[in-house]
Amino acid sequence: MKPVPPAFHPISAMRKLLCVTAHPDDEAAGFGGTLLLYHERGVETSVICMTAGTAARNRGTASTNEELAAMRRAEFAASCKLLNVSYGEVLDYPDGGLDRADLTRAVGDLVARIRRLRPHVMLTFGPDGGVTGHIDHAMAGTFATLAFEWAGRPDRYPEQLQNGLAPHRAQKLYYHTADFSLPDRKPISQPTVTTRIEIGADRLEKKGQAFQQHATQTPLFERVRKNLGPRDGAAAEMYHLAATSRPRQAKFETDLFEDVIEDETR
Ligand SMILES: [Zn+2]
C-alpha cells in the first residue's frame, strides 16, 4: 500500500475504484472478488474503512481496545495486500457506534479522500446494511453516499478547497446487495440487483484467503464461508447502481465501468 497521494497529485488517466466499508474484514467478505477482478483489469483500487473494529466479540489475544485496534489494522493491511489494493486506510470512528458519529465530520473525512483519490466508481453498502443488516454498514454507506454527492460540489466543505484539493465527481455509486437473504438475521429490504460481477472460483478462493488474514475473527470463518457461496454453482458479487453523474435509464450490467469515461475532466 502507498500513502495518500498529496493534494497536487497529478490526475492520472488510470481508472480508479474506491470502496467505503465499516469494519476491517468487510473489504474481503463483501467486496474481495470485485477488488481482485478490477485490479487485474488495470483499475487502481482503494478501500477506506470507517472503524478499527474494536466492538468485535472475537478479540484474539487482545486485552484492550487499543491492542485489538492495532491488530485489526494490521490484519486489514494484510488483507488489502492479498487483494492487491493500492491504498487502504482505517479511520478512527467508533465500531458499533457509527449511527451516533458526527455526520458532518464523517462525510467530510470521506469527501476529502474522494477529492484526493479521485475515483471513477465508488462501492459501499446501502441503507439496509448489506446482507448482514449491520447498522455500521448502513451508516458507512449513508456517509459514503453523501460524500459521493458532495465531493463534487464546491459549496460543500469549501475549506478543503483552500488546501489544494479540487471538487471531484465520481461517475457511479454502487451498493453491495444480493439476490438472497441470510437466515437468522433481522429483516432488511435489500436494494435491487442491477449489476452482477462473476468473480470465478479462483478469486472466490483468494477472497477467502484475504478474509483469513483477519485472524482475530477466526471463529467467524466458517459462517462467512457459508454465506459467501458459491450459490447455484456460481461465485458472484452483486451490486445496486444507486447513482450516476449522468442521468440514465436502469439497465442490467455485468461491468462496474460500463459507460465510465476515463479522462472526463470536471
Ligand atoms: Zn462489517
Question: What's phi and psi for 205, nearest 5 deg?
Answer: -65, -45
**Position 155 confidence tier, pLDDT thresholds 50, 70, 90:** very high
In this predicted structure, the answer to whether residue 261 has a pLDDT above a threshold of 60 is yes
Q: Given strand 87-93, what is the order of strands in its sheet?
A: 87-93, 44-51, 16-21, 121-125, 172-177, 236-244, 195-198
Distance, CA 236 to ligand 1 centroid (Å)?
19
Task: Give the mean model confidence (pLDDT) for residues 130-154.
Answer: 97
Distance, CA 134 to ligand 1 centroid (Å)?
7
Distance, CA 9 to ligand 1 centroid (Å)?
31
Using CA atoms, how far residue 98 sits from 52, 60, 95, 105, 264, in Å, is: 12, 23, 7, 12, 34
Task: Give the mean model confidence (pLDDT) for residues 88-96.
Answer: 96
Neighbouring residues of the ion ligand 1, judged by CB less than 5 Å:
22-23, 26
Percent share of the chain, pLDDT over 90: 78
In this predicted structure, the answer to whether residue 260 has a pLDDT above a threshold of 60 is yes
Q: Determine contact, residues 172/122, Cβ cutoff 8 Å.
A: yes
pTM score, whole prediction: 0.93
